């Protein structure tokens, strides 16, 4: 366990540093958007491209891994929505709660952390989960969130808007370009590749610092909107689903698939269980704010999973070893 913490501690320490910097206003809240833009549109796509280009194309096009992650994501979304709905939480809030339960922070945190733990070969299965979550899970939850007011037509329009958002997101395109480079063996000329390398090297520390800053900003925004204390039952169960139920479900479903003869690689299953054990994606709070969901609830879930994952994620790593 101590050896695991030696690897995971710096990652969570950078998140804490970003959180404290924003909380103490050492980092102006207006600057967080610039950091997020740098990570999302420059550094992170370069990192994903580099990992994709160095990953065998078979790992990026693994149907068994794709099916496992998609099945578990759908089950988590359905179970979280069903267990969350009550007089206070309707479709909009329940859907974004389901999204933070099913969508790990794989891009900003997971890929570099898993590569540090397991080696470069862990990037392939992790990148595959990003594609599923960006294209399918996010679009589904955004569509479900519209069922409160607009009916099926509104849900369809919301899904179309979500897919348009995916088309404008540079991460899937970076993964696709990396996959093409892996399949064809083509690479950019040396000066361009060196530039990509510099941006890719910056992705991990800046992304982790930005996660903490985004969490602090979400807390500030949520506090300004809230009118009273929030019951723990409205957000703690979702955090438990994310950190404990999700990885357990992936492990059980993957083990059942392997027992049934499905060609699911043991290492792929190992990586996907660890991806599921990651904290919730911090960018979901931005989506929740955009679609009028309860940002205070979403921010609490993300903050709780990020803080608790220092122990729970490290525990899952130790158990799998």
Please write the tens of the pLDDT for every residue from 222-257. Answer: 676 665 567 888 889 999 999 999 999 999 999 999
Average pLDDT, the chain: 88
The share of the chain scoring above pLDDT 90, in percent, equals 55
pLDDT digits (tens, 9 = 90+) for 146-196: 887 655 556 666 667 666 766 778 888 898 899 899 888 888 999 999 999
pLDDT for 256: 97
pLDDT the model gives residue 151: 53
Q: How far apart are CA 219 and CA 254, in angstroms?
A: 36
152/290: higher pLDDT: 290
Average pLDDT, integer, range 278-300: 85
pLDDT tens for residues 301-316? 999 999 999 999 999 9
Percent of the chain with pLDDT over 70: 92
From 76-90, 132-146, 163-177, 196-210, the region with the lowest mean pLDDT = 163-177
- Whether 200 has a pLDDT exceeding 80, the answer reads yes
Q: What is the rounded average pLDDT of the residues 86-93?
A: 86
Averaged pLDDT, 7-31: 92
CA 11 vs CA 115, 157, 234, 274: distances in Å: 12, 38, 28, 15
* 275 has a pLDDT exceeding 60: yes
pLDDT given at position 143: 85
Given this model, what pLDDT does residue 225 score?
66
Instruction: Quote the DSSP letter at residue 148.
Output: G
262 touches 64 (CB < 8 A): yes
Question: Which pLDDT value is given to residue 191?
Answer: 92
For residue 82, the model assigns a pLDDT of 94
- Residue 104: strand, helix, or coil: strand
pLDDT of residue 292 exceeding 90: no
Cβ atoms of residues 42 and 199 within 8 Å = yes
Interacting residues of 226 by C-beta distance below 8 A, sequence separation 6+: 296
| 3-state class (DSSP) for residue 260 | coil
What's the confidence (pLDDT) of residue 20? 95
Domains of the chain: 2-320 (1.20.1530.20)
* pLDDT the model gives residue 251: 97
* Nearest alpha carbon to residue 14 among 108, 107, 103: 108
Q: pTM of the predicted model, to two decimals? A: 0.88
Predicted local confidence at residue 228, as pLDDT? 59
What CA–CA distances, in Å, run from 256 to 6, 72, 263? 33, 13, 11
> Would the pLDDT of 38 be above 60?
yes
Nearest of 280, 266, 315, 60 to residue 183 by alpha carbon: 60
Lowest mean pLDDT across 3-7, 239-243, 268-272: 3-7
Is 129:106 a contact under the CB 8 Å cutoff? Answer: yes
- pLDDT tens, 98-121? 999 999 999 889 999 999 999 989
**pLDDT for 42:** 93
Average pLDDT over residues 208-213: 92
Q: Other C-beta atoms within 10 Å of 3: how many?
A: 9
> Would you state the pLDDT for residue 1?
67
């Amino acid at each position: 366990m101590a050896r695991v913490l030696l690897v995971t501690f710096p990652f969570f320490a950078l998140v804490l540093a970003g959180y404290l910097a924003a909380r103490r206003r050492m980092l102006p809240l207006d600057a967080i958007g610039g950091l997020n833009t740098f990570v999302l549109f420059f550094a992170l796509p370069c990192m994903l491209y580099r990992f994709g280009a160095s990953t065998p194309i078979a790992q990026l096009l693994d149907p068994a891994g794709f099916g496992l992650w998609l099945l578990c994501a759908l089950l988590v979304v359905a179970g979280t929505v069903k267990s969350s709905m009550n007089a206070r939480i309707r479709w909009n809030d329940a859907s974004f709660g389901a999204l933070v339960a099913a969508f790990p922070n794989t891009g900003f945190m997971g890929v570099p952390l898993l590569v540090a733990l397991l080696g470069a070969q862990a990037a392939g299965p992790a990148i595959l989960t990003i594609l599923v979550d960006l294209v399918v899970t996010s679009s589904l939850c955004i569509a479900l969130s519209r069922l409160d007011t607009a009916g099926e037509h509104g849900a369809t329009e919301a899904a179309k808007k979500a897919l348009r958002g995916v088309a404008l997101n540079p991460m899937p395109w970076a993964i696709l370009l990396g996959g093409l480079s892996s399949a064809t063996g083509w690479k950019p000329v040396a000066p361009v590749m060196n530039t990509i390398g510099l941006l890719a090297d910056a992705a991990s520390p800046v992304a982790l610092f930005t996660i903490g800053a985004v969490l602090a900003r979400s807390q500030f925004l949520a506090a300004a909107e809230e009118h009273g204390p929030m019951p723990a039952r409205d957000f703690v169960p979702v955090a438990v689903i994310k950190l404990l139920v999700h990885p357990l479900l992936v492990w059980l479903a993957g083990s059942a698939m392997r027992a049934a003869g499905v060609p699911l690689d043991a290492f792929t299953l190992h990586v996907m269980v660890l991806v599921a054990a990651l904290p919730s994606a911090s960018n979901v709070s931005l989506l929740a704010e955009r679609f009028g969901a309860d940002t205070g609830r979403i921010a609490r879930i993300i903050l709780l999973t990020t803080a608790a994952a220092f122990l729970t994620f490290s525990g899952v790593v130790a158990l799998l070893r």
